Amino acid sequence: MAGWFSLSERASRITAGIGGLAAIVVSWGIGLFETRTVPVQPTLAVGQPVEAGQWTLRLDRVDVSDRVPGTTRAWLAGRKVIVLYLQASNRTAETSNSFMQAVKLDTPIAGADARPTAYLMRDHAILADLQPALPEDMALVWSFPADAQVPATVRFKIEALRYKAVDNLYAQPLWSNPREVGVVDLPVPSTESAGHT
């Protein structure tokens, strides 16, 4: 009879309807997920101490130069350096160099080093580790191609590891699970005043 459908046809139409409804719900969920608000990390004050897990850090200033800190020799031919001057204090009971992971250059600069080299400012030696409870002035240095553009303000991201008194594997204290503490924006000196590290 016209207008009537067999049982199998009705089942097919119901299945198609459910499938269409499911597609709408999934599409809505994906759209909601993609438009969710990403939390904005705080902008930290220049020259003020910041607690970052194992470290207390104070980011003071940045410079762009063709020389490493405390030397008169030029950097590698065709390269310059971004120099971040900061103070770091090891808050733990053990010697550590994890400050290298605590501060990251967050401004994209073409060809810049993935990780910096650390220099101790009191003797300009390359710094490997810091002793506990001994604040040290240092410079973190990233080299980059001399023809790369450096913006007027450079952003650094500070990350901290979380302390766990007993880890699950060895039942020992552990610093792990990095989290972003905030960012520090530092102005780059003009070319007339830059280069005097």
Q: How many residues does the chain have?
A: 197
What is the Rg, in whole angstroms, of the alpha carbon atoms belonging to the chain? 27
b/e 123-145 (16+ beta carbons within 10 angstroms → b): eeeebeebeeeeebebbbbbbbe
Give dist(CA 52, CA 137) in Å, integer: 17
Q: What is the mean pLDDT of residues 28-40?
A: 59
C-beta of residue 53 within 8 angstroms of C-beta of residue 160: yes
The DSSP code sequence of 55-72 is EEEEEEEEEEESB-TT--
Written as six digits, the tokens of 122 are: 């009191």
Closest alpha carbon to 61 in 167, 196, 186, 193: 186
pLDDT band at 11 (very low <50, low <70, confident <90, very high): low
pLDDT band at 19 (very low <50, low <70, confident <90, very high): low
In the chain, what percentage of residues exceed pLDDT 70? 71
| Alpha-helix residue ranges (DSSP H) falling in the chain | 7-34, 99-102
Written as six digits, the tokens of 147 are: 């023809």
pLDDT for position 192: 46
Q: What is the reported pTM?
A: 0.74
The predicted-structure confidence for 167-182, as pLDDT tens digits, reads as follows 666 666 666 778 899 9
The predicted-structure confidence for 89-148, as pLDDT tens digits, reads as follows 998 888 988 888 899 999 999 999 999 999 999 998 998 899 998 899 999 999 999 999
| Other C-beta atoms lying within 10 Å of the C-beta of residue 79 | 17
Strand partners, 138: 86, 120
